[in-house]
């Protein structure tokens, strides 16, 4: 049944030969031409499946304390170039240019084995990030040089850092805008640099057990210092640098976390980004919020990728467990179905694994898309700042105003046809490119952090459940129970789910984003016309329903007249943010499979068995798109109808009901009407036993049309799932996992 | 004297030993199922040779005018070689001499040796009078056991050692070699000097850790070399395999419910003794 020349609605059946290898992933995640990143992956993988796996297997997670063995893991990071991945070559690194994809890949590889190890590597970058993003040239030079691993011929240990933001009970995990840490002027002699007294108690500070320096967020406690700032503290500064007690985490025990106490005297030159003195007041060039925004915007993406890695890492051990489940039992003789296929003879086991795998693929695709986007955005942001500076525009509101015109041009660009002459002009404008990418990043980053870790944690539980009782033992291959528990922390640190939803509440309504979203919806329809097996059409219908719902909710009020789409109405905004995250993940997943299909054919390794791999990954896309569509449909329907007051059996709503006698009369002229009427009042006023007359759909008929279309767009999705399940039952896996389970080290 | 060596290491790529290696018969004869898509590694025996070569070169750097140098000559699909290099290139310094050839199947050792010898003979700047030809004594897959010897003979190198675990240089340019023999013992030989062929067993060195700085330095020559790699075809020379099979797994499992731990241990000791 041909739909478009050269395509068929039901794709030809092909089977994936082996688990997707490096050649496939490099194409999907767009680093097949970056050997620096491929080496980083190889290097990080070696440490993860060697040093880190042995630590986990040996029970090193069973203590909260920072041990010698854990410290040696940090040395292994140094030797393998993971620490240096954050640095420029002149600073001791080996990767030129933006590092978001690099850090994401390193975190992904480490988290494939242990999330805590990945966090331990990221924590150092997090401490350096305020300096990297906003530090003065002197600060950048000093701390990056100190933090770089020793070069050939050098005999020194690299400095390690910790980022101190959150503060103690009762302010655990405080909002980043509220601080109790204080800074005041300790000493300020005429003509000399001021000295500051910093008083900060941290809570849940990662990397604190071995930190040589700390970047700490503090508020002014002195009228001679304006606002807030981030200061750099060193362990040898005058005063108290107390690392505090280790946090008794149930997760991520391979990273150090503690509650430090600092009371230190430091020069004002330690204010990150520097300061100016105005009328006798120290004015930090950046307040702590500005710095934190710049930092977290990027560092949240690798966290989302960590959970994605765990989901994908679960496939191999689960398949092996399922296939070997009955081997050794009396009733499972070699050659029998029970012996050869184990639990995989049951559809449910396969389908559940397909769901986990599809989630992992979508999460990885979205995370790496976000990382790549920030790599593109970093130089653009610098270019934007330089261009605006040339025009005498410094930042803040002036910048927003200046970019307004670029936003309009960007929106225009999203609506132009491919062959439009105007298109080339707009595409060549760096400010237009910046606002487009910025709007996308403002959604993709929180969506990655929110969906990958939140939904990912739920799906990790599914993975554990597929291993039966084995899943919740230390012996479980792949450390799946650890990964499940760890995912909860990943959903929490660096901004918990509510923070991400709150950010999405604002960014997903940006006009520039919504214009792109509309273009992406059309793009999915086009993709569907050539690749019907990917679920792109399902996704496009879900995207349309989401966009309609957002628009409807922005204009609609509840029965009390309250606005439905409002920052304080999180029942609406957060739910829509969740729904959007499903859509974004699914879209990225489809785009990655298309990339593989397009470029895989010219890669000698990926080309082998490419048809089967693309088929399987497309089926996962379709499965995931159907899941996303279901979530979006449910959430949107609840929001559109859930804020309408349900009709009651009262005087007013009775008016819309038929009276029994009235119906009898009508039946004579309209035969059959009695069978269709549901809300009928008897002569004595009694009514059917239900909540009230059925609710109408006035004003929402378009929603029902879109939802109905979406529902029918699910056609074929379960066939895709069946195909994927069959592949899962046949795909060749290695003889053994390439890292040990507990006790095997 | 200043020892400066030109060490050429012949090393193939093989499927990662953890992968499922399933014999299969294709149009060109027996092979391993899905070999092209299985993750590959440098053949572990030859990898030992590479690490020993790098160590020997580092200990005997020669002079700035005449430095020691290591080349890695490898025959395989260049896309596959590139993947393997992402890890191997981070371990030690070398120059890659890739030959873009087939993977899989059971190629004829004569044909393979001819291709490798030609590639080595064409290495610019290689001083064959100072050459040590290294390789693996065995292979993790399909080791013919003769390829390295044949390469040596084609290059006119008569001094050949196999199962080498150690090389120790003498002041006069001669060197002592420990070759594995039966019973866990070594045969000690003294060779008057290079050139020589050494087929390595495991050697004594641990696998070097990955170091991206080393990798980036190596990549300056590896990537151009891969792009310019010459293509080679291997003539089967009428070779025909009657059958192939995996080594039999020596594993017997018995569920024992009526023996205590001491009795089980005693039986294990007796079994080991009998073996």
**Residue B55 near chain A (CB below 8 Å):** no
The backbone torsions φ and ψ at residue A24, rounded to the nearest 5 degrees and listed phi first, read -70, -45
Residue A558, C-beta contacts closer than 8 angstroms, at least 6 positions apart: A564, A643
Q: Which range has the top average pLDDT, A79-83, A336-340, A613-617?
A: A613-617
Whether A38 and B86 lie within 8 Å, measured CB to CB: yes
**Which residues are paired to A261 by β-bridges?**
A201, A242
Mean pLDDT for the stretch of residues A583-607: 96
Q: Which residues of A touch B37 (CB under 8 A)?
A: 17-18, 21, 23, 605, 608-609
Q: Do the Cβ atoms of A52 and A73 come closer than 8 Å?
A: yes
10 Å CB burial of residue A652 (0-12, 13-18, 19+) is exposed
Q: For residue B249, is it within any domain? A: no
Within a 10 A sphere around the Cβ of A356, how many other Cβ atoms?
22
Torsion sign, CA atoms A720, A725, A727, A731: positive
10 Å CB burial of residue A327 (0-12, 13-18, 19+) is middle
Whether B80 and A39 lie within 8 Å, measured CB to CB: no
Whether A328 and B219 lie within 8 Å, measured CB to CB: no
**Residue B83 near chain A (CB below 8 Å):** yes
Q: Which range has the top average pLDDT, A150-154, A454-458, B145-149?
A: A454-458
Q: For residue B88, is it within any domain? A: yes
pLDDT of residue A591: 98
Mean pLDDT for the stretch of residues B178-191: 92
User: In which band, very low, low, confident or very high, does the pLDDT at B46 lie, cut at 50, 70 and 90?
Assistant: very high
Give CA–CA dist B180/B163, Å, rounded: 5
pLDDT of residue A91: 87
pLDDT of residue B29: 77
Distances (CA, A) of A599 to A375, A593, B39, B83: 21, 10, 19, 17
Q: For residue B252, is it within any domain? A: no
Closest CA of chain A from B140, distance in Å: 15
Interface contacts A/B by beta carbons within 8 Å = 105
Whether B20 and A38 lie within 8 Å, measured CB to CB: no
Give the global pTM: 0.92
Arithmetic mean of pLDDT over chain A: 92
pLDDT of residue A181: 92
Count of structural domains within chain B:
1
pLDDT, tens only, A418-475: 888 899 999 999 999 999 999 999 999 999 999 999 999 999 999 999 999 999 998 8
Residue-range definition of the domain harbouring residue B178: 6-231
pLDDT, tens only, A656-707: 788 888 888 888 888 888 888 878 888 888 888 888 888 877 778 899 999 9
Instruction: For A528-593, give the DSSP string.
Output: HHH-GGGTHHHHHHHHHHHHHHHHHHHH-B-TTS-BSS-TT-HHHHHHHHHHHHHHHHHHHHHHHH
Choose from B26, B40, B208, B212 for mutation: most chain A CBs within 10 A.
Answer: B212
Q: Do the Cβ atoms of A253 and A58 come closer than 8 Å?
A: no
pLDDT of residue A1: 38
3-state secondary structure of A334: coil
Within a 10 A sphere around the Cβ of A726, how many other Cβ atoms?
18
Report the residue of chain B nearest A152, measured CA to CA: B213
Two structure tokens written together for B106:
């059971």
Residue A85: DSSP 8-state? G
pLDDT of residue B253: 66
Q: Which residues of A touch B223 (CB under 8 A)?
A: 35
Q: Is the pLDDT of residue A11 over 60?
A: no
pLDDT, tens only, A249-303: 999 999 999 999 999 999 999 999 999 999 999 999 999 988 888 788 778 999 9
**Residue A394 near chain B (CB below 8 Å):** no
Give CA–CA dist A26/A24, Å, rounded: 6
pLDDT of residue A177: 67
Report the residue of chain B nearest A76, measured CA to CA: B209
**Residue A734 near chain B (CB below 8 Å):** yes
Closest CA of chain B from A453, distance in Å: 29
H helices within A80-136, ranges in order?
100-111, 115-134
Residue A289, C-beta contacts closer than 8 angstroms, at least 6 positions apart: A176, A177, A228
Among A347, A191, A228, A177, residue whose Cα is nearest residue A723: A347
Q: For residue B273, is it within any domain? A: no
pLDDT of residue A744: 43
**Residue A238 near chain B (CB below 8 Å):** no
Give CA–CA dist A579/A632, Å, rounded: 5
Give CA–CA dist B152/B160, Å, rounded: 8
Give CA–CA dist A137/A569, Å, rounded: 43
pLDDT, tens only, A36-77: 999 999 999 999 999 999 999 999 999 999 999 999 999 999
Mean pLDDT for the stretch of residues B90-94: 96
Q: For residue B28, is it within any domain? A: yes
- HSE, side-chain direction, 13 A CA sphere, residue A109: 26
Q: Which residues of A touch B209 (CB under 8 A)?
A: 46, 76, 79-80
pLDDT of residue A13: 53
**Which residues are paired to B186 by β-bridges?**
B180
Residue A441, C-beta contacts closer than 8 angstroms, at least 6 positions apart: A297, A370, A373, A374, A377
For helices A347-390 and A100-111, angle between their N-to-C axes, nearest 10 degrees:
160
Choose from B19, B40, B210 for mutation: most chain A CBs within 10 A.
Answer: B210
Q: For residue B151, is it within any domain? A: yes
pLDDT, tens only, A190-212: 999 999 999 999 999 999 999 99
pLDDT, tens only, A297-330: 778 999 999 999 999 999 999 999 999 999 988 8
pLDDT of residue B12: 94
Closest CA of chain A from B190, distance in Å: 35
Arithmetic mean of pLDDT over chain B: 90
pLDDT, tens only, A373-387: 999 999 999 999 999
Two structure tokens written together for A251:
């997760």
Q: For residue B222, is it within any domain? A: yes
pLDDT, tens only, A117-134: 999 999 989 999 999 989
User: In which band, very low, low, confident or very high, does the pLDDT at A106 lie, cut at 50, 70 and 90?
Assistant: very high
The predicted complex's ipTM stands at: 0.86
Mean pLDDT for the stretch of residues B241-259: 73
User: In which band, very low, low, confident or very high, does the pLDDT at A240 lie, cut at 50, 70 and 90?
Assistant: very high
Which CATH number goes with the domain that contains B174? 3.40.50.620
Residue A2: DSSP 8-state? B
Q: For residue B95, is it within any domain? A: yes
Instruction: For A58-76, give the DSSP string.
Output: TTGGG-SS--HHHHHHHHH
Q: Which of B18, B211, B216 shows the shortest C-beta gap to A736?
A: B18
Choose from B86, B206, B219 for mutation: most chain A CBs within 10 A.
Answer: B86
Q: What is the CA radius of gyration of chain A?
A: 29
Give CA–CA dist A306/A92, Å, rounded: 25
pLDDT of residue A695: 83
Two structure tokens written together for A228:
């807030």
Q: Which residues of B touch A39 (CB under 8 A)?
A: 86-87, 89-90, 210, 212, 215-216, 219
Report the residue of chain B nearest A32, measured CA to CA: B83
Distance of CA A105 to the CA centre of its chain: 14
**Which residues are paired to B23 by β-bridges?**
B32
pLDDT of residue A2: 37
């Amino acid at each position: 049944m041909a739909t478009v020349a050269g395509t068929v609605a039901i794709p030809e059946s092909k089977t994936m030969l082996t688990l997707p290898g490096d050649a496939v992933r490099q194409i999907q995640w767009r680093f097949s031409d970056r050997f620096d990143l491929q080496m980083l992956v190889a290097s990080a993988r070696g440490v993860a499946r060697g040093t880190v796996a042995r630590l986990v297997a040996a029970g090193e997670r069973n203590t909260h304390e920072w041990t010698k063995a854990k410290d040696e893991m940090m040395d292994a990071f140094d030797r393998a170039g993971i620490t240096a991945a954050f640095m420029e070559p002149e600073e001791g690194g080996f990767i030129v240019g933006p590092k978001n994809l690099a850090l994401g890949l390193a975190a992904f590889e480490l988290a494939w084995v242990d999330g805590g190890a990945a966090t331990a590597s990221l924590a150092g970058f997090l401490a350096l990030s305020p300096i990297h993003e906003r530090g003065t040239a002197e600060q950048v030079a000093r701390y990056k040089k100190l933090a770089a691993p020793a070069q050939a011929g050098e005999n020194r240990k690299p400095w390690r850092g910790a980022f101190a933001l959150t503060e103690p009970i009762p302010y655990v995990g405080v909002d980043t805008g509220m601080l109790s840490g204080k800074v005041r002027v300790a000493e300020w002699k005429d003509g000399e640099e001021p000295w500051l007294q910093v008083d900060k108690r941290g809570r849940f500070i990662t990397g604190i057990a071995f930190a040589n320096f700390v970047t700490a967020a503090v508020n002014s406690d002195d009228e001679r210092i304006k606002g807030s700032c981030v200061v750099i503290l060193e362990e040898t500064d005058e005063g108290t640098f107390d690392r505090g007690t280790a946090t008794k985490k149930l997760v991520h025990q391979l990273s150090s976390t503690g509650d430090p106490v600092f009371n230190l005297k430091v020069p004002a030159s330690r204010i990150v980004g520097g300061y100016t003195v105005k009328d006798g007041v120290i004015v930090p060039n950046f307040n702590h919020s500005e710095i934190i925004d710049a930092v977290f915007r990027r560092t949240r993406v690798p966290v989302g990728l960590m959970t994605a890695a765990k989901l994908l890492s679960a496939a191999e051990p689960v398949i092996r467990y399922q296939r070997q489940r009955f081997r050794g039992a009396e009733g499972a003789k070699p050659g029998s179905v029970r012996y050869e296929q184990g639990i995989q003879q049951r559809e449910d086991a396969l389908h559940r694994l397909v769901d986990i795998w599809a989630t992992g693929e979508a999460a990885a695709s979205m995370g790496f898309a976000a990382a790549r986007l920030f790599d593109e955005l970093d130089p653009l942001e610098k270019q934007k700042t330089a261009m605006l500076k040339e025009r005498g525009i410094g930042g803040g509101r002036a910048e927003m105003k200046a970019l307004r015109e670029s936003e309009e041009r960007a929106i225009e660009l999203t609506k132009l046809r491919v062959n439009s002459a105007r298109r080339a002009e707009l595409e060549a404008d760096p400010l237009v490119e910046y606002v487009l990418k910025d709007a996308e990043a403002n959604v993709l980053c929180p969506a990655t952090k929110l969906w990958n870790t939140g939904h990912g944690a739920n799906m990790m539980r599914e993975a554990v459940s597929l291993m039966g009782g084995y899943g919740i033992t230390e012996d479980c291959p792949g450390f799946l129970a650890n990964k499940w528990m760890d995912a909860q922390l990943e959903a929490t640190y660096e901004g918990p789910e509510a923070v991400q939803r709150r950010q999405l509440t604002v960014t997903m309504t940006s006009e520039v984003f919504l214009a792109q979203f509309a273009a992406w919806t059309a793009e999915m329809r086009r993709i569907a016309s050539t690749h019907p097996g990917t679920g792109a059409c399902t996704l496009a219908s879900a995207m349309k329903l989401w966009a309609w719902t957002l628009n409807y909710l922005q204009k609609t009020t509840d029965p009390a007249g309250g606005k439905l789409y409002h920052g304080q109405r999180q029942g609406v905004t957060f739910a829509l943010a969740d729904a959007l995250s499903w859509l974004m993940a699914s879209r990225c997943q489809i785009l990655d499979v298309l990339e593989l299909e397009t470029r895989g054919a010219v890669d000698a390794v990926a080309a082998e068995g490419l048809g089967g791999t693309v088929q399987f990954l497309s089926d996962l896309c379709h499965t995931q798109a159907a899941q996303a569509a279901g979530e979006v449909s449910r959430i949107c329907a609840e929001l559109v109808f859930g804020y309408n007051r349900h009709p009651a059996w009262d005087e007013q709503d009775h008016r819309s009901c038929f009276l029994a006698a009235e119906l009898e009369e009508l039946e004579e002229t309209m035969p059959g009407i009695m069978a269709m009427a549901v809300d009928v009042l008897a002569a004595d006023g009694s009514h059917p036993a239900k909540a009230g007359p059925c609710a109408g759909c006035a004003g929402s008929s378009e929603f029902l049309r879109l939802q109905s279309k979406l529902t029918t767009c699910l056609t074929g999705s379960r066939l895709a799932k069946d195909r994927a399940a069959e592949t899962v039952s046949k795909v060749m896996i290695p003889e053994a996992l390439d890292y040990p389970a507990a006790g095997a080290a | 004297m200043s020892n400066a060596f030109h060490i050429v290491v012949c090393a193939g790529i093989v499927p990662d030993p953890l992968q499922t290696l399933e014999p299969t018969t294709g149009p060109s004869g027996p092979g391993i199922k899905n070999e092209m898509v299985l993750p590959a590694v440098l053949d572990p025996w030859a990898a030992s040779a590479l690490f020993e070569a790098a160590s020997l070169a580092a200990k005997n750097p020669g002079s700035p005018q005449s430095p020691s140098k290591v080349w890695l000559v490898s025959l395989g699909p260049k896309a596959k070689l590139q993947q393997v290099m992402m890890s191997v290139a981070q371990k030690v310094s070398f120059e890659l001499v890739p030959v873009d050839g087939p993977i899989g199947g059971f190629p004829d050792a004569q044909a393979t040796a001819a291709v490798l010898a030609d590639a080595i003979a064409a290495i610019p700047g290689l001083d064959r009078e100072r050459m040590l030809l290294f390789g693996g004594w065995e292979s993790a897959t399909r080791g013919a056991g003769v390829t390295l010897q044949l390469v040596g003979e084609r290059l006119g190198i008569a001094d050949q050692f196999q199962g080498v675990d150690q090389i120790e240089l003498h002041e006069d340019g001669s060197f002592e070699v420990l070759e594995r023999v039966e019973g866990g013992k070594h045969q000690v030989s003294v060779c008057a000097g290079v050139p020589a062929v050494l087929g390595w067993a495991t050697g004594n060195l641990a696998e070097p850790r990955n170091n991206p700085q080393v990798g980036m330095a190596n990549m300056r020559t590896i990537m151009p070399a891969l792009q310019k790699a010459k293509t080679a075809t291997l003539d089967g020379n009428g070779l025909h395999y009657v059958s192939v099979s995996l080594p039999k797994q020596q594993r017997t499992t018995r569920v024992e419910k009526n023996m205590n731990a001491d009795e089980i241990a005693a039986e294990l000791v007796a079994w080991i003794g009998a073996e």
